């Protein structure tokens, strides 16, 4: 009886093991030589904002660590979709990554009728970078000193309160919509072209309240020009530990924050993702970067690629519910 089929199976098995070993060895070698040329970090928003500032800080540190230029490339437009889509369609080699954000990977898929990319399938998560709590601030002329008083005032004066935000679909906008849904408050949303004009309208009394990021609002609060009532995250912020959360202040389950993190195109080798993750985590844990983030009202929040992927999934589901309940949309 011939042993030929058995021999062929052994040969095939040996070849499969050999190919796997070669593949693993090749990937490890790629990771060890990465990066061998300049790297592009796409920021899908204009220069000058908190996300851009932190992205440039990380790029500078990686340039020093890697001995290759890590260049920030601003590609703004469509709420961040243009820059994110550019990276989604880039070669999956680790040389082009995006500083994704709440808008690009949680809100926009529900807010826009059509999307040029899939926020999950087209990307390989690297790490969450930072979380920025928003704060509920009101004009001092509004006769309220707590969230509960604000809710009571809004219900007693339906349609008379207005809240501003930097744009439709922003964290500030959706925080206000969630507040309306959770409390039954009847308020009008007024979108502005950016956070600065929205803040000016609040200071002037043209609007009465706003869900804004800490870095923008707290100087005005300290100067007595605004009153801060609560932070929008589920836990108190280390930056303003005396300020209660919305849940503590009377709106159970309220949890909204602005966040941003690094993602590569889907299919990027796991070893290169691991290198990005390890080196960026090291940067985020440095006192210098934590101080830089604090100046932007943000807190470092590094995590594993798997944790970041799960986080994005939960955020997509959360904002799908909020956008549907609020009726918010961008044409």
Query: How far is the C-alpha of 21 from the C-alpha of 36, rounded, in Å?
Result: 23
What is the span of the domain harbouring residue 277?
Answer: 37-132+258-326
Give bridge partners of residue 112 from the DSSP assignment: 330
Could you tell me the pLDDT band of residue 329, with boundaries at 50, 70 and 90?
confident
Between residues 140 and 79, the one the model is more confident about: 140
Q: How far apart are the first and last CA of the chain?
A: 73
What local confidence, expressed as pLDDT, does residue 94 receive? 98
What local confidence, expressed as pLDDT, does residue 15 receive? 59
Q: 3-state SS string over 8-74? A: HHHHHHHHHHHHHHHHHHHHHHHHHHCCCCCEEEEECCCCCCHHHHHHHHHHHHHHHHHCCCEEEEE
DSSP letters for 249-302: TT-TT---EEEEEEEEETT--HHHHHHHHHHHHHHHTSHHHHHHHHHTT-EE--
Q: Please tell me whether residues 96 and 48 are part of one structural domain.
A: yes
Query: How far is the C-alpha of 244 from the C-alpha of 227, rounded, in Å?
Result: 13
CATH number at residue 300: 3.40.190.150
What local confidence, expressed as pLDDT, does residue 105 receive? 97
17, part of any domain: no
Tally of domains in the chain: 2
249, part of any domain: no
240, part of any domain: no
Per-residue pLDDT tens over the stretch 189-234: 999 888 889 999 999 999 999 999 888 898 999 999 999 999 999 9
In the predicted model, what is the mean pLDDT of the chain?
90
29, part of any domain: no
Q: Are residues 226 and 218 in contact, defined by beta-carbon separation less than 8 angstroms?
A: no
Could you tell me the pLDDT band of residue 269, with boundaries at 50, 70 and 90?
very high
Q: Please tell me whether residues 43 and 188 are part of one structural domain.
A: no
CATH number at residue 203: 3.40.190.10
pTM check: above 0.95? no
pLDDT above 70 coverage of the chain, percent: 90
Closest CA to 99 of 53, 68, 140, 60: 53
What local confidence, expressed as pLDDT, does residue 31 receive? 63
Q: Please tell me whether residues 108 and 145 are part of one structural domain.
A: no
Q: Is 123 exposed, middle or buried (0-12, 13-18, 19+ CB in 10 A)?
A: buried
What local confidence, expressed as pLDDT, does residue 238 receive? 86
For residue 23, pLDDT over 80 is answered with no
What local confidence, expressed as pLDDT, does residue 16 receive? 56
């Amino acid at each position: 009886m011939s042993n030929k089929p058995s021999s062929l199976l052994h040969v095939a098995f040996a070849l499969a093991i050999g190919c796997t070993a070669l593949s693993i060895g090749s990937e490890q070698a790629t990771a060890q030589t990465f990066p061998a040329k300049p790297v592009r970090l796409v920021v899908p928003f204009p220069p000058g904002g908190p996300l851009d500032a932190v992205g440039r800080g990380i790029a500078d540190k990686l340039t020093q660590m890697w001995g290759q230029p890590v260049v920030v490339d601003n590609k703004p437009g469509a709420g961040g979709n243009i820059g994110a889509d550019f990276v989604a369609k880039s070669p999956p080699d680790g040389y082009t990554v995006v500083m994704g954000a709440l808008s690009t990977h949680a809100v926009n898929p529900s807010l826009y009728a059509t999307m040029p990319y899939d926020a999950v399938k087209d990307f390989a998560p690297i790490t969450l970078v930072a979380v920025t709590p928003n704060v509920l601030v009101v004009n001092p002329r509004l006769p309220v000193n707590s969230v509960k008083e604000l809710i009571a005032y809004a219900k007693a004066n339906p349609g008379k309160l207005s809240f501003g935000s930097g744009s439709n679909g922003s964290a500030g906008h959706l925080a206000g919509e969630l507040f309306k849904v959770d409390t039954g408050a009847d308020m009008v949303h007024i979108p502005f072209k950016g956070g600065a004009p929205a803040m000016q309208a609040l200071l002037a009394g043209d609007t009465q309240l706003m869900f804004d990021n800490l870095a923008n609002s707290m100087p005005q609060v300290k100067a007595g020009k605004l009153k801060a009532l609560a932070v929008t995250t589920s836990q108190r912020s280390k930056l303003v530990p005396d300020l209660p959360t919305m849940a503590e202040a009377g709106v159970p389950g309220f949890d909204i924050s602005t966040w941003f993190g690094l993602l590569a195109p889907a299919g990027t080798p796991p070893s290169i993702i691991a290198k990005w993750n390890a080196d960026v985590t090291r940067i985020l844990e440095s006192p210098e970067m934590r101080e830089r983030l604090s100046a932007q009202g943000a807190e470092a929040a590094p995590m594993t690629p798997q944790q970041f992927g799960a986080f994005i999934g939960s955020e997509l589901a959360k904002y799908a519910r909020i956008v549907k309940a609020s009726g918010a949309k961008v044409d």
